[in-house]
Amino acid sequence: MKLVDLETFVVGTPPPHWGGQFWVFLKITTDSGISGIGEAYAVPFHPDITTQMIRDVFERRFLGESPFNIEKLWRRTYSSGYTQRPDVSMMGVLSALEMACWDIIGKETNQPIYNLLGGQVHEKLRSYTYLYPEDGDKADVYLDPDMAAERALVAVIQGFTAVKFDPVGPYTAFDPRQPSLERMDISEKMVARVREAVGDKADILFGTHGQLTTSGAIRLARRLEKYDPLWFEEPTPPEIETEMAKLAKQTTIPIATGERLCTKYEFAKVLQNGSASILQMALGRVGGLLEGKKIASMAEVYYAQIAPHMYCGPVSAMADMQLSTCTPNFLIQESIKTMGDFHAAVLKEPIQWEDGCLIPPTKPGLGIELNEDVLALHPFTGDQLHLEMSDNPENM
């Protein structure tokens, strides 16, 4: 079996763009006619350039090769151009291609991918969602404690046992920053009201996006500890993991991080330095499914758990689920609401969500197929990136 063809899809997401401004999917096909799909997550270039990168890597490293040779394909691509170091752009491209190879392998062997990576451990995956704004909101759910509490209670009634929100403020190219007293007051009131609303029915996941200095994060953590959040997410930027470790040593709140990291090498530093005990790898960026499995196995040694990141399209989301299903130290899986709306529309059959849990598929490979007719109706015509940081400093 050899890989012989590649097709890419850039899909513009309709407002409110949950999961990003666009999704980059690919499909690779073998000489026996089996196709596999993958998704590149948040490559920091216009998606038209990303598709050129995908084609270049496919033609250099994957064309004519067996999809079963994951390790060989990975090492050659990782080292391409005499780099041999974590690179977020290359890893996004490699992740998508590797993901598609696993989809083919699963279909050829008639097994879901989790059965090929150790077997099913979890029959269902506990999930959480952000508290997303809704049409017609008269206040900002990230600034209004009462609205946040109301929205959290709605999620609990739906079945969620954990909710996440980020009231620290915009994330900018000039972070980290020291939080103002006003912003810390808002953050504490938000957590207090949500805890009051949900009681012990749901965990609170305090999300941040690397906005804080180490000392600022320590100050804020001390305010939040009394409400017992399940985690404090990426409180400092991802570039210096030892700074995050200083916070981890001074708070009782578990630290979670990893959505902007790639490869086992960056995650090894997080574990070795005690920077976090919850790892949030994004399978469309980290280097693919096997790399995610290696990271999860390293985490076991440190009694750390995984909570894969899922602000993406449904293909990368399903890769996350495949990994979570076969991982003993799985904690919780991110879900974008209940994985309905556009995430469901671009698939022939939607991802299943029931009673607060995502349900692993039993079909071979990833267990999902793209609806290419729907993809064709939603081309991306903008010039934004997947996510954008503010270009101006934030003083609050």
Per-residue pLDDT tens over the stretch 15-40: 999 999 999 999 999 999 999 999 99
Does the reported pTM lie above 0.95?
A: yes
* pLDDT category of residue 394 using cuts at 50, 70 and 90: confident
Any idea what DSSP says for residue 209?
Answer: -
Q: How far apart are CA 296 and CA 289, in angstroms?
A: 10
Cα-flanking dihedrals φ and ψ of residue 177, to 5°? -140, 165
Residue type, 95: S
Q: Which residues pair with 172 in a beta bridge?
A: 390
pLDDT tens figures, 347-370: 999 999 999 999 999 999 999 999
Q: How far apart are CA 197 and CA 299, in angstroms?
A: 33
* Range list for CATH 3.30.390.10 in the chain: 3-110
Q: What is the mean pLDDT of residues 265-292?
A: 98
What is the CA 30 to chain-centroid distance, rounded?
A: 28
CA-based nearest residue to 343, from 365, 321, 312, 364: 312
Q: How far apart are CA 80 and CA 270, in angstroms?
A: 25
What topology is assigned to 3-110 in CATH?
Answer: Enolase-like; domain 1 (3.30.390)
**With contact defined as beta carbons under 8 Å apart, do 360 and 114 qualify?**
yes
pLDDT score of 55 more than 60: yes
Cα-flanking dihedrals φ and ψ of residue 41, to 5°? -100, 120
**With contact defined as beta carbons under 8 Å apart, do 98 and 130 qualify?**
no
Q: What is the mean pLDDT of residues 145-171?
A: 96
Residue 387 has a pLDDT of 87
Residue 294 has a pLDDT of 98
What's the mean per-residue pLDDT of the chain?
A: 97
**What does each C-alpha distance from 69 to 24, 66, 102, 115, 261 come to in angstroms?**
24, 6, 10, 17, 24
Cα-flanking dihedrals φ and ψ of residue 115, to 5°? -70, -20
Chain position carrying tokens 């609990």: 156
Task: Count Cβ atoms within 10 A of the Cβ of residue 395 and give its class: 0-12 exposed, 13-18 middle, 19 or more buried.
Answer: exposed
**With contact defined as beta carbons under 8 Å apart, do 73 and 101 qualify?**
yes
pLDDT score of 396 more than 70: no
For residue 252, count other CB atoms closer than 10 A to its CB.
Answer: 11
The two three-digit tokens of residue 261, written as one number? 């990291």
**With contact defined as beta carbons under 8 Å apart, do 368 and 349 qualify?**
yes
Q: Which of 139-153, 245-259, 314-328 has the lowest mean pLDDT?
A: 139-153
* Range list for CATH 3.20.20.120 in the chain: 115-365
Sequence-distant (≥ 6) Cβ neighbours of residue 292 within 8 angstroms: 281, 283, 286, 308, 319, 323
Residue 324 has a pLDDT of 98
* pLDDT category of residue 139 using cuts at 50, 70 and 90: confident
Residue type, 180: S
Q: Which of 75-89, 136-150, 153-167, 315-329 has the lowest mean pLDDT?
A: 136-150
pLDDT tens figures, 186-228: 999 999 999 999 999 999 999 999 999 999 999 999 999 999 9
User: What is the enclosing helix (H) or strand (E) of 121?
Assistant: none
pLDDT tens figures, 94-119: 999 999 999 999 999 999 999 999 99
pLDDT score of 124 more than 80: yes
E-strand stretches of 41-148:
125-130
CA-based nearest residue to 249, from 212, 218, 287: 218
CATH number for the region 115-365 comes to 3.20.20.120
Q: How far apart are CA 253 and CA 362, in angstroms?
A: 36
